[in-house]
Structure formats: structure tokens, C-alpha cells
């Protein structure tokens, strides 16, 4: 498991090396909720590499031994974790290999290469990509860095929750986008351990309900099919670690449609002047559609987890 002390230690590890992203007022969007709320957005889209993922990656890599770093790293990602590992590996002077789908967002592929990682494009299904990455891990003797199933990665993502409470000590509700569960389990651990009365709700796309189905089943469930515009939330499975933390600390899990996500993206751009990728906009979509509700005037935080979206794709979505 991951404890509050693990998250606090991660905060000490990454301090001064990453951005401390702002918590911004989004009252215009909050007024659209029913009933209206005092809305704030945690702007992780302004983080290095454009997403929260670099927090966990840097915390993980900073804790590796010299022997582990010498072996080199390999990971698998739809995009944001790829960039996070590539950037962190460069910062720690470690060679990195990233396996991504052939259909991965081209701007995310280019950014990952730009940070210095070797990118291998393979297949179209995330489950097949994981298998290929583990094959290369064995053949090359590399160290696999999981996208979410690792205590130090979860603890690193949890630092988002610590920063939220530092800027807003008494939130009534925190809404978190969820894929494999690294962000939601880390943030929920930090929030609930420091302020148990805060309600924590996670949001997934209807086309990738990995955590919702795992919660319903009481065990990690692998999805046979994934179909969503929110590529940052397309983990084909969750893990024992992230599921256990989510079951312990998260109050509810809801689903939003791709159309609702796209609508929220446009509203965030218009009203907040922030470019959120589909995965990030899911948190706001849940509030504006009434999938998540809070009392009138409640203090609500929606985490905007990333802003890495291809320009051509953006044109289509908007």
C-alpha cells in the first residue's frame, strides 16, 4: 500500500525539479453546474511534459540504484507517461525505451522522442503493447517502469493532492480523471488522510470503464475493448495496488460520454483559457452534466490532468 508519508516523501523528492501547478478559480464553469458551485481547477496541464505523469516518473527514477539506472528503462504508454519517463530519464541520465501504439497521438510520439527516448511503435491494442514491452525487457535486460502499478509512482501522483490542500485547505469535493488509477489512488490517499470529510469522486469515459468495472467486480478487470477520445484514460486494466487504494479512499466512480468530454473541452478553453486534453476535461464534464453533484456553493476542485492534444485532433473535437 501507499501511505501519506510516502506521498510526503515524494513531495520532498520532486521539490524544485517540477512545476508547482496553480489552483485556478473557474467560477464561470462552476455557475453552470446544477446547483452552482465554487469551482477550482488544478492545472496539471501546465506541468512539465504537459501532464501530471512526470511527478510519479521522477519519484520512481530518483529512487533507482546505480545498477538499475545502468541497465536502462523501458515502459509502455498511450502518451503522457511516455513523455514523463523520457523527460525523467534524461534528467537522471538514464537511457529509456518507450513502446507506444501505432495509433498513438503523433504529437505525443514526437515529444517523447524529443526528450531523448527511443520510441517503438507496435500494434493497436494496449494489452498487446504491454506484452511486447515485457518481451523487450527480457531480451535487452531493461528495467520496466509501470505506468501506474508502482508505489513510488502512485506516491508521486499523490503530490497533486497535497498541493490542492495547501492552496484550498477545505474542499468539499475533489473530482479526478481515472485510467489505470495511479493519479486517483495517489490523490485520494493524500486528500482523505489529511481531510477525511472531503468527498473524492473519480471519472472515466464510457468507452474505457476500467476502474468502475474493477470496483464492481471486487478485483482488477481487463477490458476487451476500448473506444474513447480520451486516450489518456485508456489503460486496459487496473492493478491490485490502485484498486485497493481506490476502494479504500474514493467515494464514487462515474462515467461520461465522449460527447460530454468534447463539450467540456470547449467550455474549458472558452471560459478558463486553458487547453485541456480529453482525459483532463472528463473531470469537468462529470460536474457540468450532473454525473457528480455537490451542495450549492460547495468548494469543488476538478483536476485538469494534462493538455497534450494533437492540433488536427483538436480541430475535429471542437
Catalytic residue among 185, 214, 239, 305: 305
Q: Show the 3-state SS of the chain.
A: CCCHHHHHHHHHHHCCCCCCCCEEECHHHHCCCCCCCEEEEEEHHHCHHHECHHHHHHHHHHCCCHHHHHHCEEEECCCHHHHHHHHHHHHCCCCEEEEECCCCCHHHHHHHHHCCCEEEECCCCHHHHHHHHHHHHHHHCCEECCCCCCHHHHHHHHHHHHHHHHHCCCCCEEEEECCCCHHHHHHHHHHHHHCCCCEEEEEEECCCCHHHHHHHHCCCCCCCCCCCCCHHHCCCCCCHHHHHHHHHHCCEEEEECHHHHHHHHHHHHHHHCCCCCHHHHHHHHHHHCCCCCCCCCCEEEEEECECCCCHHHHHHHC
Whether 305 is catalytic is: yes
CA distance 314 to 276: 10
Residue 186 neighbours by CB distance under 10 Å? 34
CA distance 48 to 227: 28
Catalytic residue among 53, 60, 108, 291: 53
Whether 53 is catalytic is: yes
* Residue 60 φ then ψ, to 5°: -70, -50
- Cell readout for 93 is 541520465
Residue 76: which residues within 8 A CB-CB, separation 6 or more? Answer: 98, 99, 100, 126, 129, 130, 133, 147
Count of positions (residues) in the chain: 318
Q: Annotated catalytic sites, by residue?
A: 53, 305
Amino acid at each position: 500500500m501507499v501511505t501519506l508519508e510516502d506521498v510526503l516523501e515524494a513531495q520532498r523528492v520532486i521539490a524544485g525539479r517540477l512545476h508547482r501547478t496553480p489552483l485556478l478559480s473557474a467560477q464561470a464553469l462552476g455557475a453552470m453546474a446544477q446547483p452552482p458551485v465554487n469551482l477550482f481547477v488544478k492545472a496539471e496541464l501546465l506541468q512539465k511534459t504537459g501532464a501530471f505523469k512526470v511527478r510519479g516518473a521522477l519519484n520512481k527514477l530518483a529512487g533507482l540504484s546505480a545498477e538499475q539506472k545502468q541497465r536502462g528503462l523501458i515502459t509502455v504508454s498511450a502518451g503522457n507517461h511516455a513523455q514523463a519517463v523520457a523527460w525523467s530519464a534524461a534528467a537522471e541520465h538514464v537511457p529509456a525505451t518507450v513502446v507506444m501504439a501505432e495509433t498513438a497521438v503523433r504529437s505525443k510520439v514526437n515529444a517523447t522522442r524529443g526528450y531523448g527516448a527511443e520510441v517503438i511503435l507496435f500494434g493497436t491494442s494496449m494489452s498487446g503493447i504491454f506484452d511486447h514491452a515485457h518481451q523487450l525487457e527480457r531480451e535487452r535486460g531493461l528495467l520496466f517502469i509501470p505506468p501506474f502499478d508502482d508505489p513510488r509512482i502512485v506516491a508521486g501522483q499523490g503530490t497533486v493532492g497535497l498541493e490542492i490542500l495547501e492552496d484550498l485547505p477545505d474542499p468539499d469535493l475533489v473530482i479526478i480523471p481515472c485510467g489505470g488509477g495511479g493519479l486517483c489512488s495517489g490523490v485520494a490517499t493524500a486528500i482523505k488522510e489529511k481531510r477525511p470529510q472531503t468527498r473524492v469522486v473519480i471519472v472515466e469515459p464510457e468507452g474505457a470503464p476500467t476502474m468502475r468495472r474493477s470496483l464492481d467486480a471486487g478485483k482488477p478487470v481487463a477490458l476487451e475493448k476500448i473506444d474513447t477520445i480520451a486516450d489518456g484514460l485508456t489503460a486496459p486494466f487496473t492493478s491490485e495496488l490502485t484498486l485497493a487504494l481506490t476502494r479504500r479512499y474514493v467515494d464514487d466512480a462515474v462515467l461520461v460520454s465522449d460527447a460530454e468530454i468534447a463539450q467540456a473541452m470547449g467550455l474549458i478553453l472558452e471560459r478558463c483559457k486553458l487547453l485541456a486534453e480529453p482525459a483532463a476535461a472528463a473531470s469537468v464534464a462529470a460536474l457540468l452534466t450532473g454525473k457528480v453533484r455537490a451542495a450549492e456553493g460547495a468548494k469543488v476542485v476538478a483536476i485538469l490532468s494534462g493538455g497534450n492534444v494533437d492540433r488536427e485532433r483538436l480541430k475535429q473535437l471542437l
